[in-house]
Chains A and B, each alone.
Chain A
Amino acid sequence: AQRVTQPEKLLSVFKGAPVELKCNYSYSGSPELFWYVQYSRQRLQLLLRHISRESIKGFTADLNKGETSFHLKKPFAQEEDSAMYYCALQAGTALIFGKGTTLSVSS
């Protein structure tokens, strides 16, 4: 079955602390994975995709096919990183989303 699992509903960290948002997937083919972010009162938007191997706003994510994971990481969290984060898997033409993790960064 095609599935995306984000085990943490809420992650609270202090400003400057490292952040890791976990994402595990189940997919029989070659996965295409994404992280989407939704800031308060804003629309859902793409943060990064694994094929680009890019760093956006200091966030990176590495696809680990052995562990079927695509965890999102940032070495030093900022208050403006507080948002809802969704991991998504491209399955055919559709995106399959996880349930999301709320990241709360406090000073």
Chain B
Amino acid sequence: GAGVSQTPSNKVTEKGKYVELRCDPISGHTALYWYRQSLGQGPEFLIYFQGTGAADDSGLPNDRFFAVRPEGSVSTLKIQRTERGDSAVYLCASSLGARNTEAFFGQGTRLTVV
């Protein structure tokens, strides 16, 4: 594909609901990252996948957040029992490797919890 693709671009959900955010990385990129960007802040690391496994999930804020990448390509970020504080832009990025390689970002999914 042309780049990292994220769907949906916008998501409005009610407090307490479950949401899934999808990321299609650049073909051939083994490394995939999720970041969260709140208003007025820089992107904040959530989780990193190398292939199918979550190599570093230290940035996930709590156990309501979970991400998978079952076939080493598409990834889904799942948020249970959403709270208003989860409202943010969720960014996905992919790269050829974990270090010293350029990370390419998607356009992001703007999540609004009402």
Interface on A for B, CB 8 Å cutoff? 4, 6, 32, 43-46, 49, 51, 86, 88, 90, 92-100
- The total of chain B residues at the interface (CB under 8 A) is 28
Partner of B42, one of A92, A94, A97: A97
What is the bound-complex CA distance between A45 and B103, given in angstroms?
Answer: 8
CB pair A99 B40 closer than 8 Å: yes
* A32 with B106, Cβ < 8 A, contacts A86-B43, A99-B42, A100-B42 known: no
CB pair B100 A95 closer than 8 Å: no
CB pair A43 B3 closer than 8 Å: yes
CB pair B55 A44 closer than 8 Å: no
Interface on B for A, CB 8 Å cutoff? 3-4, 31, 33, 35, 40-45, 48, 50, 55-56, 58-59, 91, 98-100, 102-108
CB pair A32 B99 closer than 8 Å: yes
What is the bound-complex CA distance between A94 and B98, given in angstroms?
Answer: 8
What is the bound-complex CA distance between A92 and B113, given in angstroms?
Answer: 31
CB pair A45 B105 closer than 8 Å: yes
CB pair B106 A43 closer than 8 Å: yes
